[in-house]
Amino acid sequence: MSSQVNEAIRAHYARSELGSVILAALENAGKDLNRLTPEDLAPIDEFHIRGRAATLELARTARVDATKHVLDVGSGIGGTSRCLAREFGCRVTGIDLTDEYCRAAAMLTERIALTELVDFRQGDATKLPFPDASFDVVWTEHVAMNIPDKPTLYEEMYRVLKPEGTLAIYDVLAGPSGPVLFPVPWARTPESSFLVTPDELRGLLEKAGFNLEDWSDTTDAARAWFVSLAEKIRKTGFPPLGFHVLLGADFQAMAQNQGRNLEEGRIVLAQVVANR
């Protein structure tokens, strides 16, 4: 990825001392910092539409189990990595572009005693720092929207997968009805947003060598989830814990736009499972 795009993306997600910010928010929400549970982290852990429910749906479709080593591409603060390890007993390696996210991910993982199963690396998804055929499952949720060089992204995912390995994707794609309204949770301006249509994604995956196994359009479920989230924020304001902790004050505008983008068909959601 070009260093300019990388810097813009890092700047979008960066919050200095993110780990401390998260711990303060947890304490503020009445959580015991010395005895944190995965449930305590849930409101900020799953940084994508429909949260944990969407993660578990994809994991079951991709047949994740304790025998698998999973690479979580764009692992953020590690919520999905921890969820997969805890629910299925699999080993998970997370990789993310943002140093601050990797540090926060490692700290939270240690606090809920999952370091034996889960580790994190800082790195670029288009230059994965792993040997060929390293992983049973390559996993990615709400990440490709920030990556312009999609051919290289999917080629790299293919490269690090073992033969017969599984690619599991849950992503925001370009909808049929016009441009995205900004800011959104993954980008404040169009310069760091790179959506493809469902047809383009199919083409990219096939060109990289993947065989598509399962494709579900989950836009309706996403829309319902977002409507209820926006309504909750409108009625009671932000809870002590939520995505605004990661993205700051303009998360409210992002959430409103995201709701409209879904309502108006500017974006669609897809859950995709493919095999090497």
Mean pLDDT for 177-185 is 94
Task: Enumerate residues 6+ apart whose C-beta is below 8 A from 59.
Answer: 84, 87, 88, 168
Q: Count of CB atoms within 10 A of residue 93's CB?
A: 19
- For residue 253, the model assigns a pLDDT of 87
- For residue 238, the model assigns a pLDDT of 75
**pLDDT over 80 at 15, yes or no:** no
- The 10s digit of each residue's pLDDT in 51-89 is 899 999 999 999 999 999 999 999 999 999 999 999 999
**pLDDT over 60 at 1, yes or no:** no
What angle, 0 to 180 degrees and rounded to 10, lies between the N-to-C axes of helices 219-236 and 251-263?
A: 140
Tokens of 250: 């303009």
Mean pLDDT for 166-176 is 97
Confidence of residue 174 (pLDDT cuts 50, 70, 90): very high
Q: Where are the domains of the chain?
A: 3-176+189-219+267-275
- For residue 44, the model assigns a pLDDT of 83
pLDDT above 90 covers a percentage of the chain that reads 71
The residue type at 120: F
CATH number of 3-176+189-219+267-275: 3.40.50.150
Confidence of residue 49 (pLDDT cuts 50, 70, 90): confident
pLDDT above 70 covers a percentage of the chain that reads 95
**pLDDT over 90 at 228, yes or no:** no
Which is higher by pLDDT, 244 or 172?
A: 172
Contact 128, 95 (CB under 8 A): yes
Q: Count of CB atoms within 10 A of residue 204's CB?
A: 17
Least confident of 11-15, 65-69, 201-205: 11-15
The backbone torsions φ and ψ at residue 72, rounded to the nearest 5 degrees and listed phi first, read -100, 105
The residue type at 27: E
Q: What is the pTM of this model?
A: 0.93
Contact 143, 80 (CB under 8 A): no
